Structure 1
Amino acid sequence: MTPEHKPKITLLSDVSMQSKLFKDSLERGIELDVDLASIDELARVIDETEAVLGDYVLIDYNYFDDVNFEQYNQLRVPANAGAKEIVINCPKEVSSSELFKWRNLVGVFYVDDEITLLLKGMRKIMQDEMWLSRKVAQDYIEHFRCANTVTTSQAYANLTKREKEIMRLLGHGASNLQIADELFVSENTVKTHLHNIFKKINAKNRLQALLWANNNIGLEERV
């Protein structure tokens, strides 16, 4: 990661002693600057610059009531619609469907997760991985699955044989490493293929790719 391409990270939370301490711990752990902001602060500076939100947005679950969520949704497009969203301080009992309101979700950390686990997950996320529990990943697939009505699209037919294999495995919730093991290739090869696939299907992350797969790959192609 070259200095000029360091990702920007925004922490959306109430500005308190606790959130400032968390910000400091995160900055030390991943060696990147983290901007702490409330929704009101975000709204105030929205007209001053194009990309107010960073490349990654850490969303404090407890901070986002219905009002803040609605305001965030109105601000996210002018602020940075493509920002990857990471939910932190998430209660264990929250249903998966509740998490899917975050459109660019790439990670979920729970309220009892240690800071070391969060730092490990953040590093993975910044390597274009996702940090979701197996249950949340599987629930996501089921949530958007329309297998009974979906027929295989021409866009899927236009993918190469290897890209189709990877998309099928991705649709089953496989990680990069699992895909690599299944296809007897390196993890870097899988990442390269995924990068090319994402460009072809106009997906910004794995969740969008999963959604695309479930809307463009018929049941007969998923086995």
Structure 2
Amino acid sequence: MTQGNVYPITLISDVSMQSKLLKDSLEKGLPIQVNIVSSEALKAYELNGKTIDELVLIDFHYLDDGKFEAYNTAKMQSDATIKEIVFNCPNDAPSSQLFKWRNLVGVFYVDDDISLLLKGMDKIMNDEMWLSRKVAQDYIEHFRCANTVTTSQAYANLTKREKEIMKLLGHGASNVQIADELFVSENTVKTHLHNIFKKINAKNRLQALLWANNNISLEERV
């Protein structure tokens, strides 16, 4: 949800000089309002009925098991689909360490500078994803294997081109990558995505990916 033209984002972190500097940098570079929420504050959300924002920025090293439980409890209170963005991820972290975030839409690494973070956050706010191709494939494959589903009639009703785009979307491809793969313009891809979202009742790429995991068999997605 937006407040005017400003996107509220929950930053899961202790309130510190570093988190305040990150908040200031993000708010100066993007039309967002960053709300710093500690794990202790999250525990109080259940008591007072507060909810976290739809966009959540998480320090890779911050959430230990106890803090992660508090975060999950707060997340379950939200009616919205939470988009999870992880930053400060070690460059050599295996993809499996990211699987606990089920609605992952972005990963930023320790060596990424603020300009790259701002660029990626802007993409995410426009319903893109900011994942390396490898992380996206590993991530989606993990949840595919955990979910045995049969293809729904809704997927069967998509056109051949729409199915091709859904398959590429499922492999973590951006609009530009999809356009290059199919030799069409980026605007054509956006038009197809708009039509797909209407047909499957999805509001964004994340919801489309979640829908795919529950409505398209593994054989269809390979």
- TM-score range relative to shorter protein: 0.7 to 0.9
Distance, in Å, in 1 between the alignment partners of 2:31 and 2:172 is 30
Q: Which moved more, 1:70-79 or 1:192-201?
A: 192-201
The residue matched to 2:137 in structure 1 has which SS? helix
Query: Contact 1:106–1:205 (CA<8 Å) still a contact in 2?
Result: no
Which residue of structure 1 lines up, in the alignment, with residue 119 of structure 2?
Answer: 120
Query: Contact 2:87–2:109 (CA<8 Å) still a contact in 1?
Result: yes
**Change beyond 3 A, Cα 1:60–1:219:** closer
Query: Contact 2:136–2:171 (CA<8 Å) still a contact in 1?
Result: no
Please tell me whether residue 63 in structure 1 is matched to residue 62 in structure 2.
yes
- Structure 1: where are the runs of 5+ without partners? none
Which residue of structure 1 lines up, in the alignment, with residue 196 of structure 2?
Answer: 197
Counterpart mapping for 1:140-155 below 5 A: 140-146=139-145, 151-155=150-154
Which residue of structure 1 lines up, in the alignment, with residue 109 of structure 2?
Answer: 110
Deviation of residue 47 (structure 1)? 4.8
Counterpart mapping for 1:22-33 below 5 A: 22-33=22-33
Please tell me whether residue 37 in structure 1 is matched to residue 76 in structure 2.
no
Counterpart mapping for 1:162-177 below 5 A: 162-177=161-176
Counterpart residue type for residue 90 of structure 2: P
- The TM-score, its normalising length taken from structure 1, stands at 0.83
Query: Contact 1:11–1:58 (CA<8 Å) still a contact in 2?
Result: yes
Distance, in Å, in 2 between the alignment partners of 1:193 and 1:205 is 13
Which residue of structure 2 lines up, in the alignment, with residue 13 of structure 1?
Answer: 13
**Change beyond 3 A, Cα 1:65–1:81:** farther
**Change beyond 3 A, Cα 1:217–1:67:** same
- Structure 2: where are the runs of 5+ without partners? none
Counterpart residue type for residue 58 of structure 1: L
Query: Contact 1:104–1:205 (CA<8 Å) still a contact in 2?
Result: no
The residue matched to 1:64 in structure 2 has which SS? coil
Query: Contact 1:144–1:211 (CA<8 Å) still a contact in 2?
Result: no
Query: Contact 1:92–1:111 (CA<8 Å) still a contact in 2?
Result: yes
Counterpart residue type for residue 109 of structure 1: F
Distance, in Å, in 2 between the alignment partners of 1:190 and 1:14 is 40
Distance, in Å, in 2 between the alignment partners of 1:219 and 1:38 is 39
Query: Contact 1:104–1:208 (CA<8 Å) still a contact in 2?
Result: no
- Identical pairs, percent: 73
Query: Contact 1:180–1:187 (CA<8 Å) still a contact in 2?
Result: yes
1:13-47 CA-to-partner distances (Å, cap 9, x unmatched) read: 01111111111111112142211111221332445
**Change beyond 3 A, Cα 1:219–1:102:** closer
Please tell me whether residue 4 in structure 1 is matched to residue 4 in structure 2.
yes
Deviation of residue 102 (structure 1)? 0.9
Query: Contact 2:52–2:74 (CA<8 Å) still a contact in 1?
Result: no
**Change beyond 3 A, Cα 1:196–1:204:** same
